[in-house]
Amino acid sequence: DVKVTQSSRYLVKRTGEKVFLECVQDMDHENMFWYRQDPGLGLRLIYFSYDVKMKEKGDIPEGYSVSREKKERFSLILESASTNQTSMYLCASRIGGPQNNEQFFGPGTRLTVL
Amino acid sequence: AQKITQTQPGMFVQEKEAVTLDCTYDTSDPSYGLFWYKQPSSGEMIFLIYQGSYDQQNATEGRYSLNFQKARKSANLVISASQLGDSAMYFCAMNTDTGRRALTFGSGTRLQVQP
């Protein structure tokens, strides 16, 4: 079974702190994604990565950066956390190739910024 | 750019009845995929069913079927014989063959199954 793990289920940080959200997948997937989920808005794409050291901006990249130094790990970084970044963050991975390959999601990290 | 619209924020259904969750989409790409995911209160996203734009038949997976009407750009999820465990958020999503492989999601429908 594909497993996508995220470093924390719940996280509380203060405004201005640098925050790292870690995601690890164990199925050698090429593609990895970070989404943000807010009520009434569904999931929105922050950043994605097609392969190691490759990254592309999604729909809402402002205030975020990412790092993918190893194939299995995709990190989301909030350089200076703000209260409007309080949200549920979901990581996903998929094997590369045709668009019909499903994405596998991690359990999510609920981040609160005070 | 692609867009997914789910117009039902919440739905109620009686146990053992069938329910249809609506999804319409918009894309100019002729090759695309449509997905449905279930998110229980625990938060994990569970893949349910997939439909490709060139698939001739509607997709089915157990009690789930996808009513794909290409001309109307709709991809409704039908759940037959609802169970209490079906209570969850349901998201419709799509990606395209020429675009990025990330999914574009709708806003979701919260389904509550009543005994």
Report how far apart, in Å, the C-alpha atoms of A12 and of each of A43, A61, A64, A104 are: 21, 21, 17, 25
Put simply, whether A10 touches B (Cβ < 8 Å) is: no
With a cut of 70, say whether residue B91 has pLDDT above it: yes
With a cut of 90, say whether residue A99 has pLDDT above it: no
Output helix, strand, coil percentages for chain A, rounded to the nearest 5. 5, 55, 45
Residue A102: pLDDT band with limits 50, 70, 90: confident
- Residue B100 is predicted with a pLDDT of 67
Question: Which of the two residues, B19 and B98, has the higher pLDDT score?
Answer: B19
> What distance in Å separates the CA atoms of residue A75 and residue A87, rounded to the nearest whole number?
16
Put simply, whether A57 touches B (Cβ < 8 Å) is: no
Indicate yes or no: CB of A99 within 8 angstroms of CB of B96: yes
Indicate yes or no: CB of B105 within 8 angstroms of CB of A42: yes
- Residue B93 is predicted with a pLDDT of 96
Strand B32-39 vs strand B88-96: parallel, antiparallel, or unpaired? antiparallel
Residue A91 identity (one-letter amino acid): C
Sign for the CA dihedral angle at A89, B105, A74, A102 comes to positive
Q: Which of B42, B50, B108 sits opposite A42 (nearest CB)?
A: B108
> What distance in Å separates the CA atoms of residue B69 and residue B58, rounded to the nearest whole number?
9
